[in-house]
Amino acid sequence: MEEVKKTLYSGVQPTNNLTIGNLLGTLRSWRGLQEDYDCIFAAANMHAITVRQNPAELRQKTLALIALFLACGVDPEKSIVYVQSQVPAHAELCWALNTFTYVGEMERMTQFKDKSARHADNINMGLMDYPVLMAADILLYQTDIVPVGLDQRQHLEISRDIAQRFNNVYSPTFKVPEGLYPKMGAKICDLLEPTKKMSKSAENPNGAVFLSDDKDTVLRKFKRAVTDSENCIKYAPETKAGVSNLLTIYCAFSDKSVAEAEREFDGKGYGDFKLAVGEVVADKLAPLQAEHNRLLADKAYLEKVMADGAERAYKLARKTLSKVYKKIGFYQV
């Protein structure tokens, strides 16, 4: 008897350029995950509009993100790859789940407070409701597993709370998802501020290495990376944040252990070290960039992948939504 795989859901916003942190923390693992799970991967464009977007750019970035998923090894025959807004059930379930979510919970969400501070001129209800939409994304597909970074743990917990709250009122309806947390080393920090996570929306783009950066740009950014005055290449995050961050990046791209990297650079200066890190990153990004560009040149294929994915996602989503509507008393014909 064939073993039934668990369902895994993950989404990425098509905003700004993704960084090597996104690659190492999320995208690179997707190729392997789809062998072990029934995977659903979304371009989360509904989440993106909580901050003002240029419409033409959002459309282009959505297409580019789908191409990136495929370039990273996602197989649209094995996994569902789709655009969030093309499945209306996300918004429909979000509205129902809003009635099981409390204002105080949303006001306490770290991301709401952070984004409100950064976008004080546009503190909209979508920004506050973001976690409920994320809960709808996950619960629509009876998701078992959600890959999450430490900064997303709060969103998964509210999704679990909402699911359990609904189940307690109306009988079991949703699966309560579990988190799949990355192994140590997945957190990549800013090159200029190594105590902060590398962000695709960083104020200074020289602190982030983007997946679209060419080799010269990658090398230039690593050359400027913050280290310290000791000239000792050793992994010690508490006292040598910059050097430790570079070691983490080097090991992640070279598949070497920290101990191996420390031995390799023993007695060498920071200049040689930073160049070596830049070289290994640029060399690993090159084939990914080539495949991404190849896919972007075939718009018809990408649109077919999106249409097929949306159709498959729609069928799964409607099953859950119909069940929810029946339980809350919405008349259906």
**Residues designated as active site:** 115, 197, 200
41 close to 70: Cβ distance less than 8 angstroms: no
Residue written as tokens 């419409």?
55
Orientation angle between helical segments 89-98 and 299-328, nearest 10 degrees: 30
246 near 235, Cβ under 8 Å? no
The alpha-helical segments, DSSP class H, found in the chain are 20-22, 28-36, 45-48, 55-71, 89-98, 103-107, 110-118, 125-140, 153-170, 215-223, 241-254, 258-264, 270-296, 299-328
Residue (of 32, 30, 136) closest to 93 by Cα position: 136
Distance, CA of 241 to CA of 9 (rounded, Å): 33
Q: What is the DSSP secondary structure assignment for residue 193, as one 8-state letter?
A: S
